[in-house]
């Protein structure tokens, strides 16, 4: 059985979309997986406090610890999760989603550096590679609104919106 590579890339795109959106909704509502209801953003708890205050322990830990609970960082983090996840789900704005999602993953990678289970590589680096692959592929997606999106006048004028 021959598998079309476009389908594999679409499955990667949709899988990453689910990862970004799942973290967003779990932190927003406290669905009880990584975040309990009493620690949700809607309950008034910073979505970055738990991770940034406790997880980083490498050479950059003081920098990331100092960002913990900062409302600007909270908004950027939650907005990034939602917007990147939504763009990946719909297949639109793949350049911005790919680059900003990669930046987000790289910052998380840096906060955890060095990786716990490998000398240099962890899942965040794999996500970056996939996101950059999705940017390079452009409009070749089989499922999504990327082709229609690229025909919008504003998107034609500003190619970064593709």
User: 76-134, pLDDT tens digit by residue?
Assistant: 999 999 999 999 999 888 899 999 999 999 999 999 888 888 888 999 999 999 999 99
**What distance in Å separates the CA atoms of residue 162 and residue 91, rounded to the nearest whole number?**
9
The burial class, CB within 10 Å (0-12 / 13-18 / 19+), for 70 is: middle
Asked whether the beta carbons of 137 and 124 are under 8 A apart, the reply is no
DSSP 81: H
- In tens, the pLDDT along 51-82 reads 888 887 888 989 999 999 999 999 999 999 99
Question: pTM for the complete prediction?
Answer: 0.89
Is 29 a residue whose pLDDT tops 60?
yes
Average pLDDT, integer, range 24-51: 92
Is 46 a residue whose pLDDT tops 60?
yes
Residue 129: closest CA among 96, 102, 159, 104: 102
pLDDT at residue 33, as a whole number = 87
The burial class, CB within 10 Å (0-12 / 13-18 / 19+), for 157 is: exposed
**What distance in Å separates the CA atoms of residue 21 and residue 111, rounded to the nearest whole number?**
21
């Amino acid at each position: 059985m021959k598998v079309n590579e476009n389908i594999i890339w679409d499955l990667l795109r949709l899988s990453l979309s689910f990862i970004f959106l799942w973290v967003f909704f779990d932190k927003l509502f406290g669905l009880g997986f990584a975040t309990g209801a009493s620690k949700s953003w809607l309950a008034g708890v910073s979505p970055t406090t738990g991770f940034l205050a406790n997880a980083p322990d490498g050479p950059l830990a003081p920098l990331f610890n100092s960002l913990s609970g900062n409302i600007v960082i909270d908004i950027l983090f939650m907005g990034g999760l939602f917007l990147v996840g939504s763009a990946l789900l719909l297949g639109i704005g793949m350049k911005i989603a790919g680059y900003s999602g990669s930046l987000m993953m790289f910052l998380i990678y840096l906060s955890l550096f060095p990786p716990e289970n490998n000398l240099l590589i962890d899942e965040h680096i794999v996500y970056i590679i996939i996101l950059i692959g999705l940017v390079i592929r452009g409009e070749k997606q089989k499922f999504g609104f990327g082709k229609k999106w690229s025909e919008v006048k504003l998107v034609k004028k500003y190619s970064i919106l593709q």
